Amino acid sequence: MSDKNRFDNWKHPEIIEGQPTKYNWVVQNKDGLKLGYKTDIGAFCYINAKHEVIIEDNVQIGSHCSIYSVSTIDDKTGKVHLKENCKIGTHSTVMPGVSVGKNSIIGAHSLVMSDIPNNVVAFGVPAKVVRKIDE
């Protein structure tokens, strides 16, 4: 099956609190998760949606990523918003209160601690914008 057609039969996955989905990713506080259409979340991802996580349509999240709307280390809380068509590279972490812009790409192994605008590439620890993406 080509990448072009891989979402032709996409269906919203069954999400059971604290249990792996059939794709092997886990959500805690599932009532705070808003999952868009044709999302692609890699295996072994963890999402804590206690203070809301919005994942819009066509978002891709690589394997082994963590998305936190609450941090017990520094007591930070806040909604996480992954906007349409953004991509989060494998092994990345998105911290509470962060928004990743439409069409933006986060490089692998990044720590996203602040908002990332639309149409950019960002990576690093902490993630920083390195270039704009031409539309």
What CA–CA distance (Å, rounded) separates 66 from 52?
14
Nearest residue to 81 (alpha-carbon basis) of 70, 96, 60: 96
What CA–CA distance (Å, rounded) separates 100 from 119?
10
End-to-end CA, the chain = 27
Rounded-to-10 torsion of CA 38, 39, 43, 47:
-150
> Does the predicted model carry a pTM greater than 0.85?
yes
- Tell me if residue 1 falls in helix, strand or coil: coil
What CA–CA distance (Å, rounded) separates 93 from 68?
8
Structure tokens at 88: 């989060």
Domain positions in the chain? 3-132
Measured over the CA atoms of residue 33, residue 37, residue 43 and residue 45, the dihedral's sign is negative
Average pLDDT value for the chain? 94
To the question of domain 3-132 being in CATH 2.160.10.10, the answer is yes
**Average pLDDT of 123-128?**
98
pLDDT tens-digit profile of 3-54? 566 677 888 889 999 999 999 999 999 999 999 999 999 999 999 999 999 9
Secondary element (H or E) of residue 99? strand 99-100
Residue, of 73 and 90, whose pLDDT is higher = 90
